[in-house]
Amino acid sequence: MLVASNAIVMELVMIDRSKIATRVCAGSLALLVTACAPSLPPRPNGVERLYVLDCGEAQIPDVSPWSPGFNIGKPATFSDNCYVIKHARGTLLWDSGFPDALANVPDGQAGARGMRAFRKKTLASQLGEIGIALDSITQVAFSHTHSDHVGNANLFTSATLYIQQAEYDAAFGADAAKFGFAPANYEKLRASPVVKLSGDHDVFGDGSVVILSTPGHTPGHQSLLVRLPKSGVVVLSGDAAHFMENFDNRRVPGFNFNRDQSVASMDKLAAVMKAESAQLWVNHDSAQNAGIRHAPAFYE
Ligand SMILES: [Zn+2]
């Protein structure tokens, strides 16, 4: 068997090295990290800028479905951000917020659990203001596939999509609606270059931008660690927790896909924060969000 395997490999090497690279890249994640990283000289950290963009807001009449048994009848405002990471090897968009079309609906749009969603400015216009063309986004990843995170996914068809296999299967499978997903938001990505993940993933190969698998809110929910040269380590929560109070108390929304996974994912993020002295930026925590610089300002 060993001889046969070697023979096959040798034959491939002699036929076409570029085809081997393609085959390896399309295969397992572990191979992809080592085999597909561009052959640039090693850098300690290639992150140049992190932009936080205003990608909408939701008014909630009763926040208790997000924290069962607590804050019953209490209204809340959810912030909603998109994030752009400019790296020496590419530009990653993390989450895309509510659909840009909402910017033309001043009275907002009704959603689940009494929510009303608003958007002041489009994502496209905010990217334009910071000099980022839509087609210069080389990589795109979403914490998960709910409409307040993938609302503008269809704008980024030329970018490589990084998504957990479990989320991909739910989003592009026949039962997407069962998971609360609306395929019209992201259908155009079906033809995108895609890297399907089964765990954590170092996006640029230098440890500076790492997708963290944090399932529970949805089957393949993920969070993002960003190692900023001047500002330190930040973890972007997605909806692993909707606000810091829920994170601190490990409260899980009743409608999450899996409660145990949700708690384990919060524990994982807490361990990462401790090990990396990282801040956790909770996407929907409007109180915390008020203290975070938004574009055109940025973090380095
Ligand atoms: Zn959300």
Ligand 1 is a single-atom ion; what residues have CB below 5 A from it? 148, 239
**Residue spans of alpha helices (H) in 112-183:** 123-129, 147-150, 165-172
pTM score = 0.85
pLDDT at 15 over 80: no
Question: Which phi and psi angles does 49 have, rounded to 5°?
Answer: -150, 145
At position 199, the amino acid (one-letter code) is: G
Average pLDDT, the chain: 88
Expressed in angstroms and rounded, the spacing between residue 39 Cα and the centre of ligand 1 is: 37
Beta bridge partners of 90: 87
First-residue to last-residue Cα distance in the chain: 52
The answer to whether the bond into 183 is cis (omega within 30° of 0) is no
- Distance from residue 6's CA to the centre of ligand 1 (Å): 49
User: In angstroms, what is the span from residue 147 Cα to ligand 1's centroid?
Assistant: 8
Is pLDDT above 90 for 28? no
pLDDT in tens, 44-54: 689 999 999 99
Q: Which of 104-113, 141-150, 232-241 has the lowest mean pLDDT?
A: 104-113
Residue 161 has pLDDT above 90, yes or no: yes
Cα 289 to middle of ligand 1, angstroms: 14
Confidence bin at 33 (pLDDT 50/70/90): very low
pLDDT of residue 45: 82
Question: What pLDDT does residue 27 have?
Answer: 32
pLDDT digits (tens, 9 = 90+) for 250-285: 999 999 999 999 999 999 999 999 999 999 999 999
